[in-house]
Amino acid sequence: MRTQVLIVGAGPSGLLLGQLLHRAGVDTVIVERQSGAHVLSRIRAGVLEQGTVDLMDEAGVGARAHAEGLVHDGVELAVDGVRHRIDLRALTGGKTVLVYGQTEVTRDLMQARAAAGSTTLYEATDVRIEGFETEAPRAHCTVGGEPVEIAADFIAGCDGFHGICRASVPREALRVYEQVYPFSWLGLLSDTPPVSPELIYSRHARGFSLCSMRSPTRSRYYLQVPLTERVEDWSDQRFWDELRRRLDPEAAASLVTGPSLEKSVAPLRSFVAEPMRFGRLFLAGDAAHIVPPTGAKGLNLAASDVRYLSQALIEHYRERSAAGLDHYSARCLARVWKAERFSWWLTRLMHNFDQEPAFQAKLQSAELDYLLGSESAQRVLAENYVGLPT
């Protein structure tokens, strides 16, 4: 089999890249380790920057996000039981975010890819890539028991943090930057109305919590828990009781509880691998970088990588110019590091770090106090939350 761009991974990065290239007449094949149903069963964040929505429109997959997504003009920060609203729209000269789940973004992209008739090899095992340092990169995998070889002009590594693309690069060619955090997030999804019309990020002596949503009838909540916590030890009742304890009195009183549709624990990590290009292999999204979920930058960063990569590849095919491909890594990383900084900062600001010296806790309180009293500081938060320009 031969294609122009071989994409490894059918998460949002791989699917969005495939769709943008398809619209420009560039042929792609995607190989994905899991089934389509499995990809759709993963619950991830749900806040889209305007730039991400614009890119979905360019890919022709934005209609349902516009119809069903919820435009949010602000977010709330709750500190020890008192809520403060950050007016995103007023602080950024009119910018907002769109609450629309990553699962739905993925569903829309999968449907568009099926309608386009592009090839996706799901449940591909033993995926290997080679020759990306030459003019003739290739991938091998097994699909339905049969060996498959795919030759391509380029390989896009969109296979997430645990994928094989980054792992195929010689160790000495990569520089890795990493920060782990001493806690996880326990998430719960339920068909209950959100506790409040906007998201609430709460700092509390018992630990951070986040009240988010997917729609007017579906809520997503998170609790900061120790790294050792197992999801089996959290009944729905225990989750709701703990969440209620961490909320401000008004939110606690109006919280509607119900059976969970999904519960999962995820550790928090900051990670960047540099560079994002090796010969004819380009990494995009979680394959190259991870942010802690505070601030919901993961999917938005993946989308901005894909914007740069699709433009660069289209430029290569249309104009025979390598300029975009040559600048890909540096352009992405400039934006990646700003989002890394913001996600790290918001994580540090809102969580409990009770193992750290008391000095750190005092600084954290002072920073919160400053933020809540300073419009300039709130503007910095708002500008980053709605997304920095590409």
Closest of 323, 325, 300 to residue 310, by C-alpha: 325
Whole-number CA gyration radius for the chain: 21
Candidates 100, 221, 222, 385; catalytic one: 385
Under rule CB under 6 A, residue 184 binds ligand APR: no
212 binds, among ligand APR, ligand PHB, none (CB under 5 to 8 A by kind): ligand PHB
Distance CA 368, CA 375 (A): 12
Under rule CB under 6 A, residue 294 binds ligand PHB: yes
Is 338 known to be catalytic?
no
Query: Which position has the token pair 């890909």?
Result: 328
Candidates 137, 293, 308, 328; catalytic one: 293
* Closest distance of CB 108 from ligand PHB, Å: 17
Residue 55 or residue 189: which is nearer to ligand PHB going by CB? 189
Distance CA 364, CA 138 (A): 50
Residue 386 CA, chain-centre distance (Å), reads: 14
| Window contacting ligand PHB (CB under 6 A); options: 10-18, 139-147, 245-253, 291-299 | 291-299
Residues 6+ apart with CB under 8 A from 35: 122, 123
Is 297 known to be catalytic?
yes
Closest of 141, 114, 147 to residue 128, by C-alpha: 141
Is 385 known to be catalytic?
yes
DSSP state at residue 37: H
Query: Which position has the token pair 């010296």?
Result: 357
47 binds, among ligand APR, ligand PHB, none (CB under 5 to 8 A by kind): ligand PHB
* Closest distance of CB 16 from ligand PHB, Å: 19
Under rule CB under 6 A, residue 263 binds ligand PHB: no
Candidates 72, 95, 204, 263; catalytic one: 72
Residue 79 or residue 129: which is nearer to ligand PHB going by CB? 79
Q: Contacts with ligand PHB in 20-49 (CB under 6 A)?
A: 45-47
Closest of 238, 292, 300 to residue 266, by C-alpha: 292
The burial class, CB within 10 Å (0-12 / 13-18 / 19+), for 380 is: middle
Dihedral in degrees, nearest 10, Cα atoms 52, 54, 56, 58: -140
Cβ neighbour number for residue 287 with a 10 Å cutoff? 29
Contact (Cβ atoms closer than 8 angstroms) between residue 325 and residue 313: yes
Under rule CB under 6 A, residue 186 binds ligand PHB: no
Contact (Cβ atoms closer than 8 angstroms) between residue 353 and residue 360: yes
Q: Contacts with ligand PHB in 203-242 (CB under 6 A)?
A: 210, 212, 220
Contact (Cβ atoms closer than 8 angstroms) between residue 62 and residue 56: yes
Under rule CB under 6 A, residue 192 binds ligand PHB: no
Candidate list 6, 14, 214, 248; residue touching ligand APR; CB under 6 A? 14
- The 91-120 site mask, x for binding ligand APR (CB under 6 A), equals -----------x------------------
Candidate list 17, 29, 91, 158; residue touching ligand APR; CB under 6 A? 158
Which residues are known catalytic residues? Answer: 72, 201, 293, 297, 385
Binding site for ligand APR (CB under 6 A): 8-14, 31-34, 39, 44-45, 102, 124, 127, 158-160, 162-164, 285-286, 298-299, 302
Binding site for ligand PHB (CB under 6 A): 45-47, 199, 210, 212, 220, 293-296
